[in-house]
Each structure stands twice: as structure tokens, then as C-alpha cells.
Amino acid sequence: MAGGSSQPGRSVTSKILAILSAFETSRRALNLTEISKAADLPLSTTHRLVGELVDEGILSRTGNGGIQLGLRLWAIAQNTGRQLRDTARPFVQDLFSLTGETSQLAIRDGNMALYIDRVYGTKRIARASRVGGRLPLHATAVGKAILAFSEDWVMDAYLEQHLEPLTPHTRSNPVQLRNELSRARHNGYAITREEVRLGTCSIAVPVYHTGRLGCSIGLVIPTSHAANMERHLPVLYGISKRIEAATAHIPLETLLGIISGPDMNVPGREN
């Protein structure tokens, strides 16, 4: 039929999000047809919605017919979790200055580690993570630190899921991972060795907030000089304490922008 019916159960909101999600993965500009496919929407609908979004500044057109995310969206989104980023950034910079290694700050978003900030030098290194990017909690040092120092139910819930391996070294055995996390909790830090990508290792420590885990900070180090990563622990602990002190006065929710990851936010479980 011409017009009318649409896909029942799809609100305009969800269609708009579907369009935005098309840009969640791809870094380059997309054309209308690609967006249409990615969002699973008819071309004409995509055309109209994209047109509106461009007018609003949410999307923008490049010269050669490409479409990409607009600056307005970026500017609005900068308000998210601003308190944590603005407060913690100088300390993450300090961490980088003192160690010379790529420094990261991550929080838990559902069952992924979400990278909030990242400080690195000019030398080109292979990057697996990026600000705004996510990696599985069990594969990264910051993720392991989050798991190891969260309340027990977080780790328990996480270990019931399939542990996708990213490299041959990724821990995919729940029992093995649980042991490692217990050791991490006992030692006070977590490490990974080529578990995200070959050639890089990482070490991370938790950052507390009002007695509970708030986020974690860590270093990414090329395997070539990752023999004694623990040498960086004093600095990591020092920076962690500094961030803890600097953020102590901010309510946790304001800090993170969320209460807890949706996937693992089992209401009533924390009692």
C-alpha cells in the first residue's frame, strides 16, 4: 500500500536512534543508502528524517554527498559525565606525564568497559580503545579492575555470561577468570597481557568513590617493555587517591551520568 502502514511498533524516536546508531561503529561519512540499510528504514523515510536531522545540526553533510554526525550533537553530548571528565583529566594527564605510557580512565557501562578519557603521546601505537569506545570487561585491565573491586554480585553476574575471547590470551574460562579476579582484588591491581590485542599489555587500579568503586585507571604498554609493569603501581595508586579526593564531593550519579549498567542493574539485588 502507498503510505500509511509503516512498520508497526517503531516509533519515530527509535527510527532516529537507528539512524544515529549507524554512526556508532563507522568512522567515515555514510551516504543515504548506507544509512537506510544500517537503520533498516525505507529510503524515503531515511531521506526525510536525515534531512530534518541535518537542519537541526544533529547530522551534517560533507561536500560529496556524505553524511556524518554534526557538531551540535557533539557539543550537547559533551555535558554527559562532564564532572568526572573535567575533574579527572588533569590527573590522567599527570599519570601519562609520570609514566610516559598511554593512560586511560574507564567506567562500567553494562557489561563493557567504557573509556571516558585517554591521554597518549604523539608516537603512533596500535589503538584498541578510544574515548567513547567500549571493550569487554574481562579482556582489559581497567575492566578487570572494575570487576574485581565492584560488589560481589557484579562479578557473579558477569561470570555467568559467555566470555568472548579477543586474542588467544583472553581469559574465556569463568573459573580461571574468577581466580584471577580474586587475586587482583587481593593484590590491589589488575593486569592483562595481550588479551585485547597482540603486542600490548595493560595494568589498572580501581578508583573509589565514597567507599565504592567509581571508575578505574590504567596504562597500556607495548609488550616489548611490559616486563615489569608493576613498577608503575606507586604512581597509579597515587593518582587514584588524588582522583578519589578530587571527586569525593560530587554525587556518584552526577559523576557517571548513570546509576549502573542497564544489563546488570538487578533492582533489589544490592540489599
Partner DNA sequence: ATTAGCCTTCCACTGGATGGAAGCGTTAGC
Partner DNA sequence: GCTAACGCTTCCATCCAGTGGAAGGCTAAT
Among 35, 41, 84, 96, binds a copy of itself (CB under 8 A): 96
Q: Residue 182, CB half-sphere, CA atoms under 13 Å: how many?
A: 8
Q: Which stretch binds DNA (CB under 7 A): 39-47, 98-106, 124-132, 248-256?
A: 39-47
CA distances (Å), origin 143, targets 23, 82, 104, 136: 25, 21, 11, 7
Q: At its nearest, how many Å lie between DNA and the CB of residue 8?
A: 4
Contact 221, 150 (CB under 8 A): no
What cell numbers appear for 248 in the block? Answer: 569525593
Q: How far apart are CA 110 and CA 108, in angstroms?
A: 6
Q: Does 142 bind a copy of itself (CB under 8 A)?
A: no
Per partner kind, with CB cut-offs from 5 to 8 A, the member of DNA, a copy of itself, none near residue 143 is none
Place of cell 534531512: 51
x/- map, 227-256, a copy of itself, by CB under 8 A: ---------------x---x------xx-x
x/- map, 55-94, DNA, by CB under 7 A: ----------x-----------------------------
Q: Does 263 bind a copy of itself (CB under 8 A)?
A: no
Q: Does 6 bind DNA (CB under 7 A)?
A: yes
Three-class SS state of 82: helix
CA distances (Å), origin 213, targets 9, 78, 127, 171, 224: 39, 23, 26, 23, 31
Q: How far apart are CA 113 and CA 81, in angstroms?
A: 15
Query: Residue 165 or residue 257: which is nearer to a copy of itself going by CB?
Result: 257
Q: Does 47 bind DNA (CB under 7 A)?
A: yes
Per partner kind, with CB cut-offs from 5 to 8 A, the member of DNA, a copy of itself, none near residue 42 is DNA
CA distances (Å), origin 144, targets 105, 118, 149, 253, 267: 13, 18, 8, 22, 23
Q: Which stretch binds a copy of itself (CB under 8 A): 36-44, 81-89, 163-171, 219-227?
A: 81-89
CA distances (Å), origin 75, targets 11, 70, 129, 258: 26, 9, 22, 19
x/- map, 5-44, a copy of itself, by CB under 8 A: ------xxxx-xx--xx-xx--xxx---------------
φ, ψ of residue 106 in degrees (nearest 5)? -135, 155
Among 17, 21, 26, 42, binds DNA (CB under 7 A): 42
Judged by phi (left if over 0) then psi (alpha if -120 to 50, else beta), residue 136 lies in beta
Binding site for a copy of itself (CB under 8 A): 11-14, 16-17, 20-21, 23-24, 27-29, 49, 52-53, 56-58, 60-63, 66, 68-71, 73-83, 86, 89-91, 93-94, 96-97, 109, 114, 119-122, 130-134, 242, 246, 253-254, 256-259, 262
Binding site for DNA (CB under 7 A): 1-13, 15, 31-33, 41-45, 47-49, 51, 65
